[in-house]
Structure 1
Amino acid sequence: MKAIMYVAHGSRLPEKNREFRHFVEQIMQKRPESCQKIAFLEKEDETMAIIGESIIAAGAKEITVVPMLLFPAMHATKDIPDQVAQLKKQHPDVVFRIADTFGAEQEVAAVAAAKIKATRPDQDAAILVIAHGSASYAEPRTEMQTVTASIATQLQLPVALGMLHGEPNYRTIATELAAKHENVHWMPYFLFQGQLVDKIRAGISEISGTQWHEADSLDLDTAMITAVIRKITEVTP
Structure 2
Amino acid sequence: MKAVLYVGHGTRVLKGSEQLKKFVEDAKKDIPYDIQETCFLELSEPDIMEGAARCVERGADSIAVIPVLLLSAGHIKEDIPKELEKVKKAYPKLTIQYGAPFGLHTKMIDVLQQRLESKGWQKGEDAEILLVGRGSSDSNAISDFHEIASLLQQRTAVVKVDTAFLAAAKPTFDEGLANKTKSKAKSVYVLPYLLFTGLLMQEMETKIERANQISESSLYLCDYLGYDKQLIEVLKERAVETFDQPFLFEKSGENV
Report the Cα offset of residue 167 of structure 1: 1.7
Give the CA RMSD over aligned residues.
Answer: 1.9
1:225 maps to what in 2?
232
Instruction: Identify the range of structure 1 (93-102 vs 53-62) with the bigger mean alpha-carbon deviation.
Output: 53-62
Which residue of the other structure, out of 161, 164, 187, is the alignment partner of 1:162?
A: 164
2:120 maps to what in 1?
120
After superposing on structure 2, the runs of 4+ consecutive aligned residues of structure 1 that deviate more than 4 Å are: none
**Is 1:189 matched with 2:190?**
no
Residues 133 and 45 (structure 1), Cα distance of their counterparts in 2 relative to 1, 3 Å cut: closer
2:220 maps to what in 1?
213
Alignment of 1:80-99 (within 5 A): 80-99=80-99
Alignment of 1:73-152 (within 5 A): 73-121=73-121, 123-134=125-136, 136-152=137-153
Instruction: Identify the range of structure 1 (11-20 vs 157-166) with the bigger mean alpha-carbon deviation.
Output: 11-20
Report the Cα offset of residue 82 of structure 1: 0.5
Give the length in aligned residue pairs.
236
Q: Tell me the SS of whatever aligns to 1:46.
A: coil
Q: Give the number of the structure with larger relative contact order, counting CA–CA contacts within 8 Å between residues 6 or more apart.
A: 2
Asked if the contact 2:10/2:44 (under 8 Å) is kept, the reply is no
Report the Cα offset of residue 212 of structure 1: 0.8
Report the Cα offset of residue 187 of structure 1: 1.1
2:178 maps to what in 1?
175
Report the Cα offset of residue 2 of structure 1: 0.5
C-alpha distance after superposition, 1:155-184 (max 9, x if no partner): 121311111111232222222232122421
CA distance in 2, matches of 1:184, 1:82: 41
The TM-score normalised by the length of structure 2 is: 0.85
Instruction: Identify the range of structure 1 (149-158 vs 202-211) with the bigger mean alpha-carbon deviation.
Output: 202-211
CA distance in 2, matches of 1:195, 1:179: 26
Asked if the contact 1:171/1:204 (under 8 Å) is kept, the reply is no
Residues 191 and 44 (structure 1), Cα distance of their counterparts in 2 relative to 1, 3 Å cut: closer
Unaligned runs of 5+ in 2: 245-256
Unaligned runs of 5+ in 1: none
What amino acid does structure 2 have at the position aligned with 1:217?
Y
Which residue of the other structure, out of 201, 206, 212, is the alignment partner of 1:202?
A: 206
Q: Tell me the SS of whatever aligns to 2:71.
A: coil
CA distance in 2, matches of 1:202, 1:217: 15
Report the Cα offset of residue 191 of structure 1: 0.8
